[in-house]
Amino acid sequence: MYKNENITEYELIDCGNGYKLERFGKYILSRPEPQALWKSSLTEKEWFEKVDAHFERDKTSPEKGIWKNKKNMPEQWHININNITFRLGLTGFKHIGIFPEQVSNWNFIEEQIKTLKSDSLKPKLLNLFAYTGGASLIAKKSGADVTHVDSVKQVVHWATENMKLSNLDNIRWLIDDASKFVAREVRRETLYDGIILDPPAYGRGPDGEKWIMEDMIDNLLGNCKKILKSEKTFLILNVYSMGFSPILTETLVKSHFDNLKNIQTGELFVEDNFGKKLPLSVFCRAF
């Protein structure tokens, strides 16, 4: 199991009763968290005395909802993690633009790129399902040539804003379906030094293409194998689907990437101020 390193701009204060209480910079948010099956450590009164914004689910659509804010809570604000500046914002889907537990994966990316650069290379990195660009920006800051692929136009624009805020440039931004893009790269015989996949359980491409993790991840990994260099390379598979385990992700990766001999698997979790460990994703890192 893995825990993100201490980050001054982020703190998991408490979790339980299907919610998590988090501090991002100077603002404290309360958001739904289906993995928090236990009781919270703070009382309901203590919890809501602390919070600046609370997300309430829509009763007709559990994935959507509204934020109830205190007067001092802005719609957008900035934080800095690993020398990358992120613009955060309150969305109708409870997400705010960052997954802090991913710092562990970002540190791995930075280490791998520095290793590849030692051989006088400018590593080429492909980031699929790339969201607001944390991994892309870490890779760029570390010296990689980065291609960032996500199917949601607004999210790619958000990632572009984070790049500018972080004083970086020259990332290749693509609004595209990940599976279709990789298939085209296979035909073009493009090769990468590193590939990151952070797929959702379900999703849609820019033209309505369906993404269903269980049905499509094996084929996507098979195509990724064809565009990943055979030596001095790395891969990260990070999944949020509750049906996936570290053993499952390891077996998936090993079934395609027999050239990657070093395998790290586990869960990314964050520990709250009362010692409760909240699991947030499963990963397999190979190099």
pLDDT, the chain, mean: 93
Kindly tell me if the per-residue pLDDT of 1 is higher than 50: no
234 with 199, same domain?
Answer: yes
Residue 194: the pLDDT is 98
Neighbouring C-beta atoms of residue 214, cutoff 10 Å: 11
In a domain, 253, yes or no: yes
In a domain, 94, yes or no: no
pLDDT band with cut points at 50, 70 and 90 for residue 57: confident
pLDDT band with cut points at 50, 70 and 90 for residue 129: very high
Q: Encode pLDDT of 194-223 as tens digits.
A: 999 999 988 888 888 888 889 999 999 999
Domain boundary (60, 89, 118) is at 89
Domain boundary (31, 55, 89) is at 89
- Residue with structure tokens 């015989």? 189
CA–CA separation, 262 and 258 (whole Å): 10
37 with 165, same domain?
Answer: no
Residue 3: the pLDDT is 56
Domain boundary (89, 122, 139) is at 89
In a domain, 259, yes or no: yes
**In which domain, by residue range, is 166 found?**
101-286
149 with 69, same domain?
Answer: no
CA–CA separation, 31 and 21 (whole Å): 7
Q: Encode pLDDT of 224-250 as tens digits.
A: 999 999 999 999 999 987 778 999 999
CATH code at 12? 2.60.40.1180
125 with 252, same domain?
Answer: yes
Q: Stretch 257-274: mean pLDDT, rounded?
A: 95
251 with 182, same domain?
Answer: yes
> When comparing pLDDT for 247 and 3, which is higher?
247
CATH code at 256? 3.40.50.150
Looking at the structure of the chain, the number of domains it has is 2
Q: Where are the alpha helices (DSSP H) in the chain?
A: 44-50, 103-117, 134-141, 153-165, 178-188, 213-227, 246-256
CA geometry: angle 251, 129, 84, nearest 5 deg: 110
Residue 241: the pLDDT is 73
Kindly tell me if the per-residue pLDDT of 20 is higher than 70: yes
Q: Stretch 256-272: mean pLDDT, rounded?
A: 95
190 with 215, same domain?
Answer: yes
Report the half-sphere exposure of 88 (CA within 13 A, side-chain side). 23
Q: Stretch 168-187: mean pLDDT, rounded?
A: 97
Kindly tell me if the per-residue pLDDT of 6 is higher than 60: yes
Residue 125: the pLDDT is 98
In a domain, 216, yes or no: yes
Give the whole-number percent of the chain exceeding pLDDT 90.
Answer: 83
